[in-house]
Each structure stands twice: as structure tokens, then as C-alpha cells.
Amino acid sequence: MTASKTVQEKARPMIRTCSIWRALEVVGDTPTLLILEAIWLGQRRFDRIRQNSGLQKALISNRLKRLTESGILTKEAYTISPPRYNYVLTDKGLALYWTSLMLLRWERRWASQENSLMPLLRHSGCGKITSPEPMCPHCKEIVRPQDVTWEQGPGVGWMAPIYSRRRQRRDADGKSLDKPAIFTEAAELMGDRWAGLILRSVFTHLRKFDEILKDTAIASNILSDRLNWLVETGILEPRKYQDHPERFEYFLTEKGLDYYPVLVMLQKWGDAYYASPEGAPVLLRHKNCGKHLDAYVGCSECKEPVYPQDVTYELVPKKQVDQKRV
């Protein structure tokens, strides 16, 4: 190793270890989320995934390879010559189900496309149409961001961020087919890893530009761009605290606060598969009952955990889901 390289590595900014950061490195990508959406809907073959997602063949091939290498998908051959495969979720992939349900919850509440399709979910455990919610396993109450505190966990530490290259335009990997989608705005938000890291910071009460910059180690021009985008989309609200020069703090709107369950479930998944041997970097506590929070996604009707094998669905227009939702 050269001396100059050693100096460069020592000069690199360090950020807090975070299971959300590690999880976003794997699934914080819009094409990846659209492919997972197709697989959740039962489309496991390449052509079916392409038809459902509208993505280009080369892009699908690349993301399927990444998902397989990361252990989220496995390939099962259904023809030998030529070799063709079904792409099946592993246990690790199935563990993303609660994150997917929280993305669906946010999309249903905040998506502006009224003509989009939504799954109308029925929980076999109680037989009722359900709108899954994030819940505390101790008191069975719905988890809300204002009712949660956090503290350092046994796996807390510092790490040098290694950001893989991503496309600059958020809509560059969007669907190329004129086809209704389930995850539209939710996939765009979670698929922009920078936005996810910024929201992680703001949820931990880091609201000033310099605070977020230090916490995420995002390049300042990218941070400015994403903050502006999050304001434009109604997720953050800027509040000026200094005139000369103008400086702002960024606060979560109701729309932004409602994204919290997505990050909680993403952190839970990241803790399960990417935490250090010592344990989770961050521990949550539910103020309502005073217990450590290991949140789950529960049925809105019976409050029991919702698992993939316990749910059936039909795709209907979003307006119809809103009308039938209790």
C-alpha cells in the first residue's frame, strides 16, 4: 500500500454504523424494488418480470444477478436446454415482506396516481380485509415515530462509507412500458438511497445541512439536490433559522413522518442480516410501554403478525382499496 493511499484512507469521512445504510446498499435501488414487486406478485420468470416491471433486459439481468449473489433470490431451472430459470425468494428475501407491506401502506396513503393498482389484502388468520400496521409486540399498539426513542446498541461503531455508483436521475430507471404499477412513489423514494440516508438522519433529529452532511458523508452537491427534491415532493419542510447567510433546518411533514414504518422494518431486516457480531448498532424503545421495540407488521383487524403465507390478495384500483379499507 502506498503512502498516498494510506493518507487518503485516513482522510475519508467516517459515518455511524447503521443497518438501514447496509440494507439500502442491497435494496435501495428502484429497478431492484420493481423486480421484487413483480416476484411478490408471482412473476418468477425473466419474461414475466420484464412484462410486469417494464425494465430493459440488460437492467433486469444485472439486478437479478445482484439479488442472487446477495442471497435474496435463488435460481431454479425449469428447462435445461436452453437453460431457463424461475427466480424464487429465499428466507432472506421473504424477510423483506414486512418492508414491502410498509412501502405498500405508504404508497396507498400518499401516492398521487389515483388510477394505480393496489392489492386488496385479506388475512387468512381472521378472514378479514386488512390494512397491515407497524405494531409493538408488548402493548400491541401501532408504532408512531413520536412514540419511539433510540439509543446506541452493542454493535455501534464507525465505518468508512463506500458508495457504489448509481444513476444520477431518479427517473432514469423508471418503467418503460405504459403499465399501472403498485410501487410508484414508494419505489422512487426508497430506490433513491441518498434520500433514505437523509431521512434516517432527520428521524434522529439531525436537521441542519452540516449535521446531515456529517452523519451521511454524502457529497454536498448531492445532499443539496436531494434535500430540494424531498422538499418538492412534500416529505420535508424547510424552516429558516438564520438570515445571513440563509440557513434552514429540515422538518418532516405528515407525509414524511408516515414513511417511518418503512425505515423501522428496513432496519429490522438489516439488523437480521447485516449487523455486526456484537449486535444491532441502534436499539429502539417504545415510550408507550417502556419496552425495547422489536416491531412487527400486524393485521389491522386481529393484530396478529402478517406473514406471506397468511395473506391473499386481488389487484384492484386504488380508489376501491380506499373504499374498502376500515
Average pLDDT, the chain: 87
In this predicted model, what pLDDT tens digit does every residue of 263-311 receive, in sequence order?
999 999 999 998 888 888 889 999 999 999 999 999 999 999 999 999 9
pLDDT of the residue at 316: 86
Q: What is the mean pLDDT of residues 30-39?
A: 93
> Grid coordinates in use for 103?
412501502
The percentage of the chain sitting over the pLDDT mark of 90, rounded to a whole number, equals: 62
275 close to 19: Cβ distance less than 8 angstroms? yes
Q: What distance in Å separates the CA atoms of residue 117 and residue 113, rounded to the nearest whole number?
A: 9
pLDDT of the residue at 164: 56
In this predicted model, what pLDDT tens digit does every residue of 236-250 receive, in sequence order?
999 999 988 999 999
Task: Give, for 231, the enclosing helix (H) or strand (E).
Answer: helix 220-232
Range of weakest confidence among 78-87, 137-146, 167-176? 167-176
Most confident region among 26-30, 197-201, 228-232, 275-279 by mean pLDDT: 228-232
pTM of the model: 0.88
Q: What distance in Å separates the CA atoms of residue 222 and residue 276, rounded to the nearest whole number?
A: 29
Q: What distance in Å separates the CA atoms of residue 174 and residue 56, rounded to the nearest whole number?
A: 10
pLDDT of the residue at 181: 63
The percentage of the chain sitting over the pLDDT mark of 70, rounded to a whole number, equals: 86
The three-class DSSP label of residue 316 is strand
> Grid coordinates in use for 275?
449487523
pLDDT of the residue at 128: 96
In this predicted model, what pLDDT tens digit does every residue of 94-117 receive, in sequence order?
999 999 999 999 999 998 766 677
* Residue matched to cell numbers 394505480: 116
pLDDT of the residue at 284: 95
Of residues 183 and 9, which shows the higher confidence score? Answer: 183
Residue 169 has pLDDT above 50, yes or no: no
The three-class DSSP label of residue 86 is strand
pLDDT bracket for residue 319 (50, 70, 90): confident
